[in-house]
Amino acid sequence: MTVNLHHILNARHRIRGVADNTPLIPSPYMTKVAGHDFLMKMETMQPTGAFKLRGAMSAVMALPDDVRGVTCCSTGNHGRGVAFAANRRGVKAVICMSELVPQAKVDGIKALGADVRIIGTTQDEAMRESLRLCETEGLVEISPFDDVHVISGQGTIGSEMLEARPDLDMLLVPLSGGGLAAGIAMAAKAIKPDIKVIGISMDRGAAMHASIRAGEPVEVPEFSSLADSLGGGIGLQNRLSYPICRDLLDDTILVTEGEILHAMQVMFYEDRMVAEGASVVGQAAMLADKLPKPCGPVGTVITGRNLDMPTFAKLMIGQDVMIGDLEVTGKTYGA
């Protein structure tokens, strides 16, 4: 492993005052479900609306003075973070995305002054374009997950959570390419070795879950999902996030689209908060009774709020909606 607590503490210094100190707040409803305090790290309150700003700021601010510009592939929130960080530093940013990324996220990135390129129907295709830009235009690629500075930046969340609540027994972490889960697990296990860290993803194209089960990075099909931020591969040459997740996560768990929808409605009706589907997979797993019984307080990361609001409104009142090629059958909350 080439990421450690020292890297994470350095990242805290780089991002201080821009992408840190989000609140850790209780959910009374989920506390009743869990049987212990259930605490939510509100990364929705970042300037870009998602946790990805931490890793992006950490990576962009660590670049040398003569950098020509940056590029990345993204399902939305990482690109927004890179665009924000590049704008703040005054360098060019080119964000490569697939056709599966919701338009609301594309528009948010363009609003930050970045050049957005829509390439193919998978994140792997977008990644190949990002790497081509590095070779042909001299840009620096900021990986969404397989980068020391990105993982360290995301790991600052874990250090902040345990600083606020040293008694946390279990952390529920949304799992995609593994940058968030790797960083949080690295920080949490270094500070409190016996804490349980569980990665949670949707059951449609969960690349890190499949790779850990296979014993090596593997490719998986990509699908439309309420948890679109968790889509995409981890890269067959993954150097960092895969081995860290493999070695430090206590388990990985999958939730269905229906379970994600239920958790989004719980978050809205019980906690009065708007969150992406990817943000609530921890609640989804808890509500579906898919987790081990905690022995103490439980923490999760509410990772982002950058969603299509008309679609969200329909989901909250129980209407059927189309998410890409996926039909989500609406259900009125409490019915």
Residue boundaries of the structural domains of the chain: 5-49+147-328, 52-141
CA distance 287 to 266: 10
CB 82 within 8 A of CB 116: no
Residue 197 makes CB contacts below 8 A (sequence gap 6+) with 170, 171, 173, 181, 184, 185, 188, 189, 248, 249, 250
Query: Could you tell me the pLDDT band of residue 1, with boundaries at 50, 70 and 90?
Result: low
d(CA 66, CA 64): 6
pLDDT at 143: 92
CATH architecture, domain 52-141: 3-Layer(aba) Sandwich (3.40)
Question: Would you place residue 105 in the very low, low, confident or very high pLDDT band (cuts 50, 70, 90)?
Answer: confident
> With respect to CATH, is domain 5-49+147-328 assigned 3.40.50.1100?
yes
For residue range 197-250, what is the model confidence (pLDDT) as tens digits?
999 999 999 999 999 999 999 999 988 899 988 988 898 999 999 999 999 999
Rounded CA separation 235/225 (Å): 20
Domain pair 5-49+147-328 / 52-141, same fold: yes
pLDDT digits (tens, 9 = 90+) for 95-104: 999 988 888 8
Percent of the chain with pLDDT over 70: 99
- pLDDT tens digits for range 33-48: 999 999 999 999 999 9
Q: Which pLDDT band holds residue 326 (cuts at 50, 70, 90)?
A: confident
**CA-CA-CA-CA torsion for 252, 255, 260, 266, nearest 10 degrees?**
-70
Q: 297 pLDDT band (50/70/90 cuts)?
A: very high
Mean pLDDT, range 165-191, rounded to an integer = 98
pTM as predicted: 0.94
The confidence band for 335, taking pLDDT boundaries of 50, 70 and 90, is: low
Cα angle vertex 259, ends 254, 262, to 5°? 150
The rounded mean pLDDT for the chain is 95
